[in-house]
Amino acid sequence: MRLIRLTIINIKRTIKNPAMLLMTFLFPMVVLFGVVGTGSGGSSLGKIGIIDNTSGKYSKDLIQELEEKYDIENLEGTVEDSYNELRDKKLAMVYVLNEDFDKNIDLGKTPKIENYVVETGMGSIIAEDIINNYVNNLLEESINSGLSTNSIDSVIVENYEKDSNDYYMAVIMICYFMMIGATIITEDILKLKAQKVLKRVISTGNKDRQILGSLYISSFIIQAIISSISLIVAIMIFNIERFNLGLGILAITLCSLITTAIIMTVTRWVKNQTLASLAVVIFGLLAFAVGILGTNLDEFSNVPKAIGYLSVISPFSWLGKIINGESIVASIIVIVLMSLAFFTLGSFKLRDYVKE
């Protein structure tokens, strides 16, 4: 009961520190806005992609008509190459003008235009009206009064695998700032020790393990809860798709576990507050860099292959596997073992530490 009571007291005390909320909630939101927000957050209904396979007079005139209302991006290749831009809503829709577009108009036939969208909306309706009106005006001698011809075959793009990079970045950045934010808790614990608060508390009959245990448990709970809330808020604000909230919270919880273990080790062996904070920051930066580079080695050029081997000792490498749904059980075991190693190193002669 004493451990629970002390833990609740420490949670209330820590959560009043605005720096804690700043580092574990606000900073990740700001960074994610720059990394994820512009790609996933907006509807971007003003931009159309066009694959012009004919490059004739009529197709160029049609594109000029559309440019009066929309930003036009001329695309090359197949429409499948543009699925990512549709998914990320960088393009509202993609129109494909086939090779027989101009020829059919010259023959008085209605050309068929393929329209690829993720979901229909006002933007696609207006664009369709512009295209149909343009084609109808060219073929008006073949169209009865009051009758319009629909030139557009719409295709709802559904059967493709959505990218989960935004979700990966959201979770991994939240975990990163959690680890860097451990400097706040580290400094707090060292201040309590310097001010002899821990020594006075142990004189009241509380055991050393209860005192420090309550500090570390409260740190674990606060980090896990605030960071999990940050993830939920990020998903809603930035419209992140293809996410597994359960795995995300699991990764955040495990990150909180190993971060708490690192706090325990640093506060046990580094007495100077500045050096202790610096040690946490350096560890966080190196672990993050090695983990990200090693996991995504193929995406970076001029990165030594040795980084890939070193990434196995970075918790971020294993957290990334959990986020992506890969080797979940093995990753959990590795992170727990890493945490136990830090906990063991940090729990050496706890009573002597409290009394100092």
Q: What is the pLDDT of residues 158-168, one digit of tens each?
A: 544 455 678 88
Domain total of the chain: 2
Rounded Cα–Cα distance for residues 37 and 328 (Å): 28
CA torsion sign for 65, 71, 72, 77 is negative
Domain of 92: which CATH number?
3.40.1710.10
331 — pLDDT class (breaks 50, 70, 90): very high
φ, ψ for residue 164 (rounded to 5)?
-110, 20
Q: Helices 165-180 and 182-194: crossing angle, nearest 10°?
A: 10
pLDDT above 50: residue 169: yes
Q: Where are the alpha helices (DSSP H) in the chain?
A: 2-15, 18-21, 27-32, 38-40, 57-67, 83-87, 101-106, 122-138, 165-180, 182-194, 197-202, 208-237, 245-269, 273-295, 306-310, 315-323, 328-346, 350-355
- Pair 79, 119 in one domain: yes
Which pLDDT value is given to residue 152? 59
- Pair 177, 247 in one domain: yes
Q: Where are the alpha helices (DSSP H) in 68-164?
A: 83-87, 101-106, 122-138
Q: What does the mean pLDDT of the chain come to?
A: 80
How many Cβ atoms sit within 10 Å of the Cβ of residue 3? 15
Final residue belonging to a domain, choices 129, 156, 183: 156
Domain containing residue 227: 2-39+163-355
Greater confidence (37 vs 269) lies with 269
Residue partners of 213: CB distance under 8 A and separation at least 6 = 3, 6, 7
Which pLDDT value is given to residue 255? 96
Q: Nearest CA to 303 among 285, 313, 291?
A: 291
Final residue belonging to a domain, choices 126, 156, 186: 156
23 — pLDDT class (breaks 50, 70, 90): confident
Which pLDDT value is given to residue 83? 78
Residue pair 227/260 in contact by the 8 Å Cβ criterion: no
Residue pair 266/343 in contact by the 8 Å Cβ criterion: no
Portion of the chain with pLDDT greater than 90, in percent:
25
197 — pLDDT class (breaks 50, 70, 90): low
- Pair 32, 48 in one domain: no
- Pair 265, 180 in one domain: yes
pLDDT above 90: residue 88: no
Task: Give mean pLDDT, residues 250-274.
Answer: 91
- Pair 301, 178 in one domain: yes
Residue partners of 47: CB distance under 8 A and separation at least 6 = 70, 71, 72, 73, 90, 91, 92
Q: What is the pLDDT of residues 135-156, one digit of tens each?
A: 888 776 554 444 445 555 555 4
User: Locate tokens 């080695």: which residue?
Assistant: 297
